[in-house]
């Protein structure tokens, strides 16, 4: 076995989930590519004294279920899988889709139904009631999205995933402290002029406990405080649909206009429920090894010099009261290569062209984290 796989399995079990003797761990594996990591994770759970449980999944099968699914069927699926999840202490999700667009031709109403009555109920319980971590696994599909060979992508992947997250965690403390003191945020770049409040909503650092790769600090805007417009400058994939040039206009927290290359699908998705046109998360990405998008949210939202702004539900740790079946991380990069940009906290410039300018935050710039 590649020793990098064993190291990653140990990070997942011992650092991210901190498995203790007697704890039950559910490992979801999407696709066949990650089997080496799945087996290594099972061994690590046993070594830690835990009890591993594995489920094998694939989006080609999920697609067939979604095509003709009924509300009754989805509610029964939810009942069965939620019972299993409620028996778990921890969850590891390993994902390696062979085709990221596999669900692209499924009717948006069926996808919304699937999310509302099944998948989001399971996810909400898992996120709020278990120790969990989710990651991708390198395969040819991901290498193609990155415009590189599989071998080169694997080298990049293991460098990113096996970095020293404890060092990153310590470096995030000053940013967390500053965000917790901040009332107003302003974001400006060639397509964006946005302002909102984060007053009273906790800032949370993410350094390998929930996502691998990791590297973000998130909070949420006060629900009705968002005003202005924002244009996201990298492609976004959601349920198999590739959205480009997504532009959102806000008034008193609500998305009042949304455009992209897929206007109809975009607006149907944002009309999923009452909360889907409000924002549940604002975050800054700081991973020094991730500098370019690869159409994968778990990687792209951690890009050094990026931020993401998320229509849909908030996290309990940073609760702004917005509830929704969706949580869609839309990402923009503000490095010079992508047009630059500025972020202000209470009218003080804290990041310019993707680099932190305050002395207290320079520890999060790439040269200090690698």
Confidence of residue 341 (pLDDT cuts 50, 70, 90): very high
How far CA 154 is from CA of 4, 139, 370, in Å, comes to 10, 8, 18
What's the confidence (pLDDT) of residue 184?
A: 98
What's the confidence (pLDDT) of residue 370?
A: 74
Name beta bridge partners: 56: 29
Share of the chain above pLDDT 70, in %: 100
Mean per-residue pLDDT over the chain, rounded? 94
- For 166-178, write each residue's pLDDT tens digit: 889 999 999 999 9
For residue 242, what are the contacts with CB-CB under 8 A and spacing of at least 6? 101, 104, 235, 236, 261, 262, 295
Confidence of residue 360 (pLDDT cuts 50, 70, 90): very high
Q: Residue 324's closest CA among 281, 355, 365, 264?
A: 281
Q: What is the mean pLDDT of residues 99-107?
A: 88
Q: Is residue 132 predicted with pLDDT exceeding 80?
A: yes
How far does CA 319 lie from the centroid of its chain?
A: 17
Sorted by where each begins, the domain ranges of the chain are 3-161, 165-369
Higher pLDDT, 246 or 294: 246
In CATH terms, is domain 3-161 a member of 3.40.50.300?
A: no
Window from 85-89, 152-156, 181-185 with minimum mean pLDDT: 152-156
Q: At what angle do helices 71-86 and 120-129 cross, to 10 degrees?
A: 20
For residue 70, what are the contacts with CB-CB under 8 A and spacing of at least 6? none
């Amino acid at each position: 076995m590649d020793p990098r796989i064993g190291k990653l399995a140990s990070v997942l079990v011992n650092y991210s989930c901190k498995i203790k003797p007697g704890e039950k761990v559910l490992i979801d594996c999407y696709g066949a590519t990650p089997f080496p990591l799945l087996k290594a994770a099972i061994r690590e759970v046993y070594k830690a004294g835990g009890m591993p449980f594995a489920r094998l999944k694939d989006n080609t099968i999920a697609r067939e279920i979604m095509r003709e699914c009924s509300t009754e069927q989805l509610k029964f699926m939810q009942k069965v899988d939620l019972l299993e999840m409620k028996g778990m202490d921890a969850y590891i999700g390993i994902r390696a889709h062979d085709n990221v667009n596999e669900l692209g031709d499924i009717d948006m109403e069926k996808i919304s139904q699937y999310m509302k009555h099944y998948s989001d109920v399971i996810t909400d319980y898992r996120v709020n009631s278990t120790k969990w971590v989710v990651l991708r696994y390198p395969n040819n599909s991901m290498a193609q999205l990155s415009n590189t060979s599989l071998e080169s992508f694997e080298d990049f992947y293991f460098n990113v995933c096996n970095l020293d997250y404890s060092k990153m965690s310590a470096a995030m403390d000053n940013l967390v402290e500053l965000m917790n003191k901040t009332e107003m945020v302003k974001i400006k770049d060639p397509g964006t002029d946005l302002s909102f409040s984060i007053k009273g909503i906790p800032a949370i650092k993410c350094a390998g406990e929930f996502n691998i790769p990791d590297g973000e600090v998130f909070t949420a805007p006060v629900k009705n405080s968002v005003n202005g417009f924002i244009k996201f400058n990298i492609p976004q994939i959601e349920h198999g649909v590739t959205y480009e040039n997504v532009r959102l206009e806000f008034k008193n927290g609500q998305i009042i206009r949304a455009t992209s290359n897929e206007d109809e699908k975009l607006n149907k998705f944002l009309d999923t429920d009452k909360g889907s046109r409000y924002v549940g998360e604002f975050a800054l990405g700081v991973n020094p090894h991730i500098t370019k998008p690869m159409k994968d949210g778990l990687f792209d939202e951690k890009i050094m010099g990026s931020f993401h702004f998320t229509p849909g539900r908030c996290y309990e740790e940073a609760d702004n009261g917005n509830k929704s079946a969706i949580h869609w991380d839309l990402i923009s990069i503000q490095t010079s290569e992508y047009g630059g940009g500025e972020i202000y906290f209470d009218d003080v410039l804290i990041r310019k062209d993707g680099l932190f300018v305050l002395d207290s935050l320079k520890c999060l710039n790439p040269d200090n984290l690698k």
